[in-house]
């Protein structure tokens, strides 16, 4: 077993296993001091893979093959640290198993330049399977966070000032969770929204929203 671990042909798998153990140790130490590496790791994952209101994210085709591949691997659906541990462990074990079986037959190992990339490619379906299982097992954080785009179509009330084109006024709107958001609103057309008037949000702008008036 030790010979399998230290053989030069298995260097990538040994390194992966050591990295997995190191990640576990570092995370345990961070938890002891009341911190976590999760927020740090999340910054390396594209924002499009995270959706706080829809755990099962489906990336559209026009967002690129790379994002589709990451989504297929369940990145963003489980904590990045957990995914890394799954990947490193699966990659290392897959490589060691293949090398040991090949050694039993031929009494030699695959060269590193062949087995390392081949194992990386072949272990991905296993990584996805384990990540999919973990996504169903791990508890999901309940959240009432929403994207600002989700306010479009909701009814808002102008509560401070009068709103004109390019001169927005403050308004308040309740989302689907009953939470109140305070936003800036301006009319789509050359009209004026008076204080106390109710409007429908129609489009997000750089500073707030555009809206149209509604009948009471």
The residue-averaged pLDDT of 101-105 equals 93
The residue-averaged pLDDT of 196-209 equals 90
Q: What is the pLDDT of residue 56?
A: 43
Residue 143 lies in a domain: no
Check whether residue 41 and residue 119 sit in a common domain.
yes
The model's pTM: 0.59
The residue-averaged pLDDT of 30-42 equals 63
CA Rg value for the chain = 26
Residue 154 lies in a domain: yes
Q: What is the pLDDT of residue 15?
A: 95
Check whether residue 27 and residue 72 sit in a common domain.
yes
Please, which residues bridge with residue 209 across strands?
185, 204
Check whether residue 133 and residue 152 sit in a common domain.
no
Q: Token pair of 140, please?
A: 């999901």
Asked if pLDDT for residue 132 goes beyond 70, the answer is yes
Look at residue 133 and give its three-state secondary structure.
Answer: helix
Q: What is the pLDDT of residue 95?
A: 95
Check whether residue 132 and residue 105 sit in a common domain.
yes
Contact indicator for 170, 161 with CB cutoff of 8 Å: yes
Distance between CA 118 and CA 110 in Å, rounded? 10
Distance between CA 157 and CA 163 in Å, rounded? 11
Please, which residues bridge with residue 185 across strands?
169, 209
Distance between CA 27 and CA 48 in Å, rounded? 26
Check whether residue 113 and residue 18 sit in a common domain.
yes
Taking CA atoms, 17 is separated from 11, 90, 107, 134, in Å, by 10, 9, 23, 20
Q: What is the pLDDT of residue 27?
A: 78
Contact indicator for 193, 162 with CB cutoff of 8 Å: yes
Residue 142 lies in a domain: no
- Structural domain ending residue among the three candidates 102, 137, 172: 137
Residue 179 binned pLDDT confidence (cut-offs 50, 70, 90): confident
CA 153 to chain centre: 26
The residue-averaged pLDDT of 181-199 equals 90
Check whether residue 15 and residue 122 sit in a common domain.
yes
Asked if pLDDT for residue 186 goes beyond 60, the answer is yes
Residue 32 binned pLDDT confidence (cut-offs 50, 70, 90): confident
Longest Cα–Cα distance in the chain? 85
Check whether residue 16 and residue 48 sit in a common domain.
yes
Check whether residue 99 and residue 68 sit in a common domain.
yes
Q: What is the pLDDT of residue 55?
A: 41
- Count of domains in the chain? 2
- Structural domain ending residue among the three candidates 72, 103, 137: 137
The average confidence (pLDDT) of the chain is: 82
Distance between CA 85 and CA 148 in Å, rounded? 33
Residue 67 lies in a domain: yes
Q: What is the pLDDT of residue 26?
A: 82
With tokens 């462990």, the residue in question is 89
Check whether residue 128 and residue 170 sit in a common domain.
no
Taking CA atoms, 147 is separated from 27, 53, 176, in Å, by 30, 9, 12
Residue 214 or 55, more confident: 214
Check whether residue 49 and residue 132 sit in a common domain.
yes
Within a 10 A sphere around the Cβ of 26, how many other Cβ atoms?
Answer: 12
Q: What is the pLDDT of residue 68?
A: 81
Check whether residue 97 and residue 28 sit in a common domain.
yes
With tokens 């001169």, the residue in question is 167
Check whether residue 91 and residue 153 sit in a common domain.
no
Residue 63 or 213, more confident: 213
Burial, 115: exposed, middle or buried (Cβ in 10 Å; 0-12, 13-18, 19+)?
buried
- Structural domain ending residue among the three candidates 137, 161, 177: 137
Q: Helices marked H in 77-196 — which ranges?
A: 80-106, 112-122, 124-137
Residue 59 binned pLDDT confidence (cut-offs 50, 70, 90): very low
Q: In which domain, by residue range, is 27 found?
A: 2-137
């Amino acid at each position: 077993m030790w010979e399998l671990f230290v053989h030069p042909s298995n260097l990538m798998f040994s390194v992966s296993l050591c990295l997995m153990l190191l990640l576990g140790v570092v995370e345990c130490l961070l938890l002891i001091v009341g911190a976590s590496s999760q927020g740090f790791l999340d910054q390396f994952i594209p924002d499009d893979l995270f959706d706080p209101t829809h755990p099962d994210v489906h990336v559209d085709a026009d967002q690129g093959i790379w994002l589709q591949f990451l989504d297929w691997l369940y990145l963003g659906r489980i904590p990045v640290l957990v995914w890394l541990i799954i990947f490193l462990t699966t990659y290392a074990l897959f490589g060691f198993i293949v090398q040991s079986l090949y050694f039993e037959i031929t009494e030699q190992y695959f060269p590193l330049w062949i087995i390392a990339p081949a194992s990386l490619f072949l272990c991905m379906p296993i990584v996805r399977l384990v990540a999919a299982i973990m996504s169903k097992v791990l508890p999901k954080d309940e959240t009432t966070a929403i994207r600002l785009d989700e306010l479009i179509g909701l009814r808002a009330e102008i509560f401070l000032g009068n709103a004109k084109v390019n001169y927005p006024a403050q308004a308040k709107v309740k989302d689907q969770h009953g939470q109140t958001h305070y936003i800036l609103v301006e009319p789509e057309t050359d009209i004026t929204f008076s204080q106390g008037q109710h409007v429908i949000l129609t489009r997000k702008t750089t500073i707030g929203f555009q809206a149209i008036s509604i009948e009471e």
